[in-house]
Amino acid sequence: MKKLIVLATLAALPAAAMADVVISGNLAVGIVNTKESGKGSLTTENRTSGELKFAGKEDLGNGLKSIWQIATKIDLADTQANASKPNTSNSWASRDSFVGLQGDFGTVTLGNIYHMPTSGALAVFEDISATTESAIYDQGTRVNNTVSYKSPAVAGFTAVVQHSFGSSTTKEENKEHQQAVSLAYEGEGFGVSYDGSRFKNATLDKTAKLHELNANVSLDALNLVAGYANKKEANGDKRSGYGLSATYAMGNLKPMLGYWKEGDKKEADGDKVNDGHKAYAIGAEYALSKRTRAGAQITKVNYDDNAKGSLRKAMVYLGTKF
C-alpha cells in the first residue's frame, strides 16, 4: 500500500519538477584468468566497468546554472556483503558526486570529486592494460571534502584546480589536505595534458607529490597515446615510468596495444630497490551495437626481480551503456 502511495505521489508531481534529470550508466563484467610464476592459475568473474549516474541542472538566469550529480560504483560480479566479507563497492555516491555552479566563469563543484581528472590516458583497455600493475600511473582518485574549479576552454586550453579539506573528522587526518591541478590542451587531431597532486602525510608531517604527463595523436583511425609519471613519497622515495598505447578502428572492431615500463624505486638514502617491471598488453573490442560491446584482452608483466618472475592476466568481457 505504501509503495502505491509513493508511486501515485510521484506521478502527480509537475513535469517541471522532473525536468533536466539524466540517468546513465556503464555496466560490464569479465571472466579473468590470472597466472603468477610459481603458482597455479586462478579464474574469477570480475567487474570491469560499473557505474550508475544521476545528473541534473537548473537555469538560474543570466547565464548561471546550478548543477548536481550522484554517481555510484556498481559491481555486478560481487553485489553481496556479509560480516566476513563486507562489500562497499556498491555504496551510494561512491563515484563523482557533487553540487555546483556553472557559468561564463567556469564550473565550481563541491563534494566527492575525482582528483587529477585527465590522468590515465594510456588505459585504453576495458580493464586489463599494460599499466594495471603500476604504483604511480593513473593514480588519480575520488577525494571527499573537495572543492574543484574548472576554467572555460580558451583557445583549446582548460585548467582544473582542486583542494580537499581532509578525509576524516579526526584531528590528525584532517591535516591530510590534498591539492591537485590539471592543465590540458586540445588541438586538431592531438592533445596534451599535465596532472599533478600533493598530499600531506600527517604521520610524517611531510608531503607526497605525483606528476603525470600525457599526449595523444589521432591519425584517421589510428590513435596513439604516450604517458609519463613521476612520484615522490612523503618519506623521500622516488619512482618514475613511461609507456605507449595504440588503438585502431576497423569498423566495429578495435584492436589495442599497450606497453609500460616502471622504474625501480630509489630510496631517500640513494639506494635502489629492484622492484621495477615491464608490461605488455594486447586486446580487441567489438561493438555489437552503439551501446553494447564485447572484447578480449591479455597482459604480461615481467618483473625486474627474477625471484618474482612474471604475471599473466587474460580476460573476456561483455558490457553495455545506457
Most confidently predicted of 138-147, 191-200, 202-211: 191-200
Identify the CA nearest to 126 among candidates 279, 275, 254.
Answer: 254
- Which DSSP string do the residues of 230-282 spell out, in sequence order? EEE-TTS-EEEEEEEEEEE-BTTEEEEEEEEEEPPEE-TTS-EES--EEEEEE
Most confident of 122-136, 139-153, 167-181, 243-257: 243-257
Per-residue pLDDT averaged across 81-97, rounded? 68
pLDDT, greater one: 276 or 15: 276
Q: What is the pLDDT of residue 309?
A: 92
Specify the higher pLDDT residue, 65 or 200.
Answer: 65
pLDDT band at residue 4 under the 50/70/90 scheme: very low
Q: Is the pLDDT of residue 2 over 50?
A: no
> Has residue 125 got a pLDDT over 70?
yes
Is the pLDDT reported for residue 10 higher than 50? Answer: no
Are 282 and 124 a contacting pair, CB within 8 Å?
Answer: no
Q: Does 123 score more than 50 pLDDT?
A: yes
Label residue 81 by pLDDT band (50, 70, 90): low
Rounded Cα gap, residues 226 and 150, in angstroms: 24
Residue 89 has what pLDDT? 60
List Cβ neighbours of 190 (8 Å cut-off, separation of 6 or more): 215, 216, 217, 218
Give the mean pLDDT of the chain.
Answer: 88
User: 252-286: per-residue pLDDT in tens?
Assistant: 999 999 999 999 999 988 899 999 999 999 999 99
State what percent of residues in the chain have pLDDT above 70. Answer: 87
Of 44, 197, 174, give the one whose Cα is nearest residue 117. Answer: 197
Q: What local confidence, expressed as pLDDT, does residue 121 receive?
A: 92
Q: What are phi and psi of 79, to 5 degrees?
A: -100, -10
In the 3-class helix/strand/coil scheme, how is 67-134 assigned residue by residue? EEEEEEECCCCCCCCCCCCCCCCCCCCCCCEEEEEEECCEEEEEEEEECCCCCCCCCCCCCCCCCCCC
Please check whether residue 131 is in contact with residue 137, taking contact to mean a CB–CB distance below 8 angstroms.
yes
Give the pLDDT band of residue 86 (cuts 50, 70, 90).
low
Q: Quick check: 293 pLDDT over 90? A: yes
Confidence of residue 114 (pLDDT cuts 50, 70, 90): confident
Percent of the chain with pLDDT over 90: 70
Look at 184 and 114; give whichever has higher pLDDT. 184
pLDDT value for 145: 85
Is the distance from CB of 284 to CB of 253 less than 8 angstroms?
A: yes
Residues 51-68 pLDDT 10s: 999 999 999 999 999 999
pLDDT tens string 218-253: 999 999 999 999 999 999 999 999 999 999 999 999
Q: What's the Cα-to-Cα distance from 53 to each of 49, 95, 181, 285, rounded to whole Å?
A: 13, 9, 25, 24
Q: Is the pLDDT of residue 135 over 70?
A: yes
Average pLDDT over residues 97-112: 96
At 116 the pLDDT is 86
What are the structural domains of the chain? 2-321 (2.40.160.10)
